[in-house]
Amino acid sequence: MPTPLSILDLSPIVSTGTAADALRNTIDLAQRTEHLGYHRYWVAEHHLTPGVASAAPAVLIALVAGATSRIRVGSAAVLLGQHAPLVVAEQFGTIAQLHPGRIDLGLGRSGPGRARDIVRRFVDPGDGPAPESKVVDGLLIPPKPRALAKSKSFLTRIEEQQHLLRVGERGESTLDYRSQVEHVIRFIRGDFRTASGRSVQAVPAEGADLDVWILGSSAGESSATAGSLGLPFAANYHVSPSTVLEAVAAYRQDFTASARLERPYVVVSADVVVADTDAKARELAAPYAPWVHSIRAGDGAIRFPSPAEAAEFDWTDQAREIVADRVDTQFVGTPEAVVRKLTTLRDATDADELVITTITHDHADRVRSYELLAKAWEAA
């Protein structure tokens, strides 16, 4: 059976566009890629970000599901530290009641202390010799970004954002991540009981025909939760390429069969730009580096620049180091070249499915990239 390709869409806002344009483009892209044979269409959750319109995944998923008929639609991911589990279950249950068998509820971590967690897991603190890249089964695994540890504005932005998004009377959830996930599952399954032992019915979540996923970037609470609960797991090579192998290995090690899954199921993400020629693909991908830099410099993702605007960016050695791991692991080129790189990613991670995220300044170029990739992947 061929490895399915799916899509992760951030609803990017470009430098010459608006949030409304970005959201309309998401609907259009979902409809087009459904016809191209893509398996899933996932949307992200990002807040207080000038260049991303996907801030309310449940709302956007309902719109995408209503505008399509076959493709699965879901979240990558709802951040449980920012939402009560009951509300998440009710929102996605509502959507699934109208679109049964097509909705994926992807759950991610976020909450108080997340900035410190990012430093611990994804950033090289700068002690000892500079780390080096390695190649594992043909796949580039870059070192954790050391320069990012010096970006105080990046960490400050995360802490401030978490303060604005905290839930609960004291500003934080009293549940750990696994307990939050279990609450969601029990609301959907219909066997949730309160602390006093009272059974509650979370209508319309109860009995909803949807799939729960866990998304993560490293070996830790997310991979352990997915494995121990027997849930499918999505690992972020496009966000944290240095930790993808340890994330999927930890998930498989912790996996316990469940009513949902008999064996581990792994999806791995990749950032991709495809064009008819290598030169054209590199031109379309050029804005990615300054866009990633804006995220890691603490500004949030800027509106995605045009290639001409990207060419004016004033690069320093530290700025290049901050984005090197992301830029070096973006798959850019002709359809055949990108298929080879995706095949390497699939084989190195033993992925059951790949989820592709593509951002270009012009919507037509993004549609074209997914079209070229779909045809080349099917042919391969």
pLDDT of residue 160: 67
pLDDT of residue 4: 98
pLDDT of residue 85: 93
| Confidence grade of residue 192 (pLDDT, cut at 50, 70, 90) | very high
* Per-residue pLDDT tens over the stretch 124-150: 566 677 778 999 999 999 988 776 666
**Which DSSP symbol is given to 229?**
T
> In this model, does residue 268 exceed pLDDT 60?
yes
The answer to whether the Cα torsion of 250, 251, 252, 253 is positive or negative is positive
- The residue among 261 and 153 whose pLDDT is bigger is 261
pLDDT of residue 164: 55
**CB-CB contact of 245 with 254 (8 Å):** no
Q: What is the mean pLDDT of residues 63-68?
A: 98
Q: What is the mean pLDDT of residues 188-194?
A: 94
Burial of 261 from C-beta contacts in 10 A (0-12 / 13-18 / 19+) = middle
Q: What is the mean pLDDT of the chain?
A: 91
Q: What is the mean pLDDT of residues 256-270?
A: 97
DSSP H stretches of helix in the chain? 19-36, 57-67, 85-98, 114-122, 152-165, 177-189, 221-228, 244-254, 278-285, 288-296, 307-311, 317-328, 335-349, 363-379
| Confidence grade of residue 170 (pLDDT, cut at 50, 70, 90) | very low
The single residue listed with the structure tokens 């700068």 is 126
Looking at domain 5-122+152-277+330-379, which of 3.20.80.10, 3.10.20.30, 3.20.20.30, 3.30.420.40 is its CATH number? 3.20.20.30
| Confidence grade of residue 112 (pLDDT, cut at 50, 70, 90) | very low
| Confidence grade of residue 162 (pLDDT, cut at 50, 70, 90) | low
* Per-residue pLDDT tens over the stretch 292-328: 999 988 888 999 999 999 999 999 998 999 999 999 9
- Residues 85, 336: Cα–Cα separation, whole Å: 43
The domain limits of the chain are: 5-122+152-277+330-379
* Per-residue pLDDT tens over the stretch 87-103: 999 999 999 999 999 99
> In this model, does residue 118 exceed pLDDT 70?
no
- Residues 57, 288: Cα–Cα separation, whole Å: 23
| Confidence grade of residue 165 (pLDDT, cut at 50, 70, 90) | low
